[in-house]
Amino acid sequence: MAKMCQSICMQCGKLFEVRISEVKKGNGKFCSRICTCAFRSKKKKVICPICFKEFKRKTSEIDKAKVNYCSVKCRSVAQQKKYTKVCKTCGKIFQVNSYIYNKNWGKFCSKKCKGVIQNTSEIKTCKVCGGNFKAKQCDLKKYNIECCSVKCRGIYQRTKITHKCIVCGTTFRIGRNAIERGEGKFCSRACANIIKNKNQKKKDTDIEILLKEWLIEKKIAFTPQYPTSVALVDFFILPNICLFADGDYWHNLPNTKRKDERQSSELYKQGFVVIRIKGSDIINGERPVEILESMN
């Protein structure tokens, strides 16, 4: 059920209930659509920044426009207003209109001055062959130029460097081109699946809640959603017990059955004790009593 809170209508002052999620989005200011329309159609006094004339405008129109002008003529005057800037190449003082000034453009007085800066070359050292080469300023802004030629760049990108897995901490080697693509965080697909499964899990299922309540009642310490190199375990109990709550529909599908069997065999090989209970059995009252026996 959605969490509710109380709010006061900005139009009629009535106290009403609204969802907290809507308040966080900036909504929930009015109790009804009628009050919303009444508030937005209400006119307020505004002063034109060009001719300083006082005029009225709807609240909805004031919120949409950054600057409010009394007429099209005043708007065009504001847009044609000139601002003074200094050219970064020759130091010449020139003027630009408000649109270019607000966009933070107009750094050069002409295309010639812009070309002078962009075509200025910088001497860099190739990271593969060690030779010096020239690179234009415009290319340095767009690309990370580290090599003198396509051949050297290919060698540089294929060079493997040492990385550390963010899951298991294993060090491995991977090419620079893979790192540029955003890869190189995991040493294997198994480690990548651990993070993937952990992020996909949003909330406990009904059968998991029943098992959790039973574990708490019996005072059995457990770790929910415990990541291993093979699978994400529903409940992990020390020293080596992996408890799974398998839903009847999904875990009866052929592909899922094969996946569960593979995971169980891999966990057995790693020294874990695997207990799988079907959802219908959990609902009917079956519980993993073998855990209590192993603890005694």
pLDDT beyond 70 at 1 = no
Q: Is pLDDT larger for residue 76 or for residue 196?
A: 76
Q: What is the mean pLDDT of residues 266-285?
A: 89
Cis-peptide into 49, omega within 30 deg: no
Q: What is the mean pLDDT of residues 234-240?
A: 88
**CB 170 within 8 Å of CB 180:** no
Q: What is the mean pLDDT of residues 28-56?
A: 85
How far is residue 117's CA from residue 96's CA, in Å, rounded to a whole number?
A: 20
Burial degree of 293 (CB within 10 A; 0-12, 13-18, 19+)? exposed
**For a pLDDT cut of 70, what percent of the chain falls above it?**
94
How far is residue 169's CA from residue 78's CA, in Å, rounded to a whole number?
A: 60
**CB 29 within 8 Å of CB 50:** no
The fourth-level CATH superfamily of domain 201-295 is VSR Endonuclease (3.40.960.10)
- pLDDT of amino acid 276: 92
* Three-state secondary-structure class, residue 73: helix
**For a pLDDT cut of 90, what percent of the chain falls above it?**
2
Model confidence at 203, pLDDT cuts 50, 70, 90, reads low
CA distances (Å), 147 to each of 37, 38, 124, 292, in order?
62, 65, 9, 65
Domain ranges of the chain: 4-41, 43-79, 82-118, 123-158, 160-187, 201-295
Residue 172 phi/psi, 5° resolution?
-150, 165
The pair of three-digit structure tokens given for residue 68, joined into one six-digit string: 């409010």
pLDDT in tens, 129-181: 888 888 887 777 666 788 888 888 888 888 888 888 877 778 888 888 787 77
Q: What is the mean pLDDT of residues 184-201?
A: 72
**Single-letter amino acid, residue 248:** D
Model confidence at 198, pLDDT cuts 50, 70, 90, reads low
- pLDDT of amino acid 186: 84
- pLDDT of amino acid 201: 57
- pLDDT of amino acid 247: 87
